[in-house]
Amino acid sequence: MVSDPPITVPEGYTLHTENTASILLPASADAFLNPVQEFNRDLSVACIRVWSEEFNRGKEEKWTRTQGKKAQNGESAEFRPYKFVILEALSATGLRSIRYAKEIPLVKHVIANDLSPAAVEAMKKNIEINGLGSQGATTHTDSIPGEGDVGTSKLGMVRANEGDACALMYNHRTERNRVDVVDLDPYGTAAPFIDAAVQCVNDGGLLCVTCTDLTVLATNNYPEKCYSNYGGIPVKAEYCHESALRLVLHTIATSAARYGRFVEPLLSLSIDFYVRLFVKIRSAPVEVKKLASQTAVYYVCTGCQAFHEQPLSRMIEQVNERSGNVNRHFKTHPGPPVSDRCPECNSVLHIAGPMWSGPIHNTEFIGKVLEHLEGNEDKYGTATRMKGMLTVAKEELPAPFYFTPSRVASFFHCVSPPMDDIASALLHAGHSVSRSHACPGSLKTPASRSVVHDVFRSWVKRNPVKMDNISETSPAHQLLSKEPTFEANFKRHPLSVTPSSKVKLVRYQQNPTSHWGPGSKPTAGKRKRDQEES
């Protein structure tokens, strides 16, 4: 392996090293870098690497079937792995692109783009000191030559590009110029870039999206802003971070559907102050028809946070007995699923969504990422946390939304029961349970919230609540006044402890530094024409 050239740190710069990459950061902070995002970058390297291996495995299987026919005619050949192209639309310092080029074996090249001239200048220095550049690198354009264009061989592994991110991606939307992986990691929302991104990804390619605007996605402070960005209203409840993921998935899915493409969520995580999603994009108009049945609005109680799902459509599958073919029929869905007041506590209901209601993870894909991580822990600085969060995500049920026993107990004004007791009661009642990666101490279950409340009513019978200070008109009084429809069994169930709970894992964020968060947006490095207009 060729070692990197020695690095000379010029005046006005500091050297930052992360895994295999070293970059120069200008003291003026013209180029943005958040060290806390190392987990994001580690996770992205692992997921893209596993995706590329699976992508090649599919190509090899298809090639083998084709070669089987050719072998009968005496022809033989050797399968050559497909090398893929990554486009990072908002690259800043270039650290992420450099790591992709150095740490993912099958990368052909990476297009690293930024609108800021100062950021591109810093990026070019960083590409060169990592030995990935070339004097022929393209800059100050909105497009990169395609694979068959003259001069491509002169460009480096990481190709710096100064230009508008959307213009760059739209220039790659034709089938000949499409890229295999698009990474969107903006400061704030990725919404303005998603339409261009879903068009420029190859069939079966990967779209990686980060959104850091959780004040919009995961609170009810700016419902109008959330709707304008993501086409849905957020949830005001403890499971708001999962609804944030589903709102972003809804935006990606509806954007892709306009072009006859559909999405397959591989991994969707709520992490620290942002959400990070890895979504496979494929072309199949028949699959696009399923989108309406994978989309729902939710009636969310303002008192006890119970939710009621209203799908936008339903899909009916009928199997032809003679041919065995499956015929799909798409119908409108009846509704509403609930009256104008919460049936549990008689509080007002608020509408949230529309948002993605299907699975947010692919457990098989996560399992392969974990397998890769087991054999390469020394290559990731945040391997311990990656293993913990991925393990919880792999076990997570596809049912929407979670709850925490302590929050539900607060609605009943009762002592909070142990999580294992609630999990055991639900399991004994015939309902599956899991944890959620998005919140410590959380449980997910396909059981309705009325079933969960019945478990708590049984708990209250064992641990009585003093009714003296509870108003007769309060939601708590409404919840407590009902008798449970079944007697919960709190005896410890063998499945109440998930496999991930049996080992010590760092599943949730521990503050890495003081005042950690998304950081401050760089203000320097604007284009001259922008400054002249202001």
Dihedral pair phi/psi, residue 207, rounded to 5°: -115, 125
CATH number of the domain at 411, please.
3.30.56.70
* Three-class HEC string of 466-506: CCCCCCCCCHHHHHHCCCCCCCCCCCCCCCCCCHHHHCCCC
Report the chain's C-alpha Rg in angstroms.
26
- pLDDT per residue over 181-207, tens digit each? 999 999 899 999 999 999 999 999 999
Pairing relation of β-strands 201-211 and 179-184?
Answer: parallel
pLDDT at 247: 98
pLDDT at 510: 53
- pLDDT per residue over 361-376, tens digit each? 999 999 999 999 999 9
* Domain ranges, residue 475: 399-502
Note whether residue 427 is domain-resident.
yes
Prior bond of 354 cis (ω within 30°): yes
Considering the chain, what is the average pLDDT of its residues? 87
pLDDT at 525: 43
The answer to whether 407 and 464 are in contact (CB under 8 A) is no
**For the chain, what is the domain count?**
1
Instruction: Please determine, for residue 328, whether its predicted confidence score (pLDDT) is greater than 80.
Output: yes
- Alpha helices, DSSP H, located in 343-493: 363-375, 383-395, 405-412, 419-428, 449-462, 475-480
Give the lowest-confidence range in 8-12, 243-247, 522-526, 528-532: 528-532
Note whether residue 411 is domain-resident.
yes
pLDDT at 76: 64
pLDDT at 396: 96
Note whether residue 430 is domain-resident.
yes
Note whether residue 475 is domain-resident.
yes
Distance CA 497, CA 504 (A): 13
Note whether residue 447 is domain-resident.
yes
Owner of token pair 């001239």: 117
- Across 2-16, 116-130, 256-270, 504-518, which has the greatest mean pLDDT? 256-270
Q: What is the pTM of this model?
A: 0.89
Structure-block tokens of residue 255: 């954007």
Distance CA 193, CA 258 (A): 15
Instruction: Please determine, for residue 172, whether its predicted confidence score (pLDDT) is greater than 60.
Output: yes
Structure-block tokens of residue 440: 């410590």
pLDDT confidence bin for 382, thresholds 50/70/90? very high
Structure-block tokens of residue 73: 């005619």
pLDDT at 391: 94
Give helix then strand counts, H and E, for the chain.
Answer: 16, 16
The answer to whether 388 and 505 are in contact (CB under 8 A) is yes
Note whether residue 455 is domain-resident.
yes
Instruction: Please determine, for residue 411, whether its predicted confidence score (pLDDT) is greater than 90.
Output: yes
- pLDDT per residue over 255-296, tens digit each? 999 999 999 999 999 998 899 999 999 999 989 999 999 999
Provide the 8-state DSSP code for 291: G
Note whether residue 44 is domain-resident.
no
pLDDT at 322: 79
Note whether residue 78 is domain-resident.
no
The answer to whether 251 and 263 are in contact (CB under 8 A) is no
Owner of token pair 């899909």: 315
CA of 186: how far to CAs of 113, 121, 226, 518, in Å?
12, 19, 17, 11
Prior bond of 336 cis (ω within 30°): yes
Distance CA 251, CA 425 (A): 37
pLDDT confidence bin for 151, thresholds 50/70/90? very low
Distance CA 100, CA 106 (A): 10
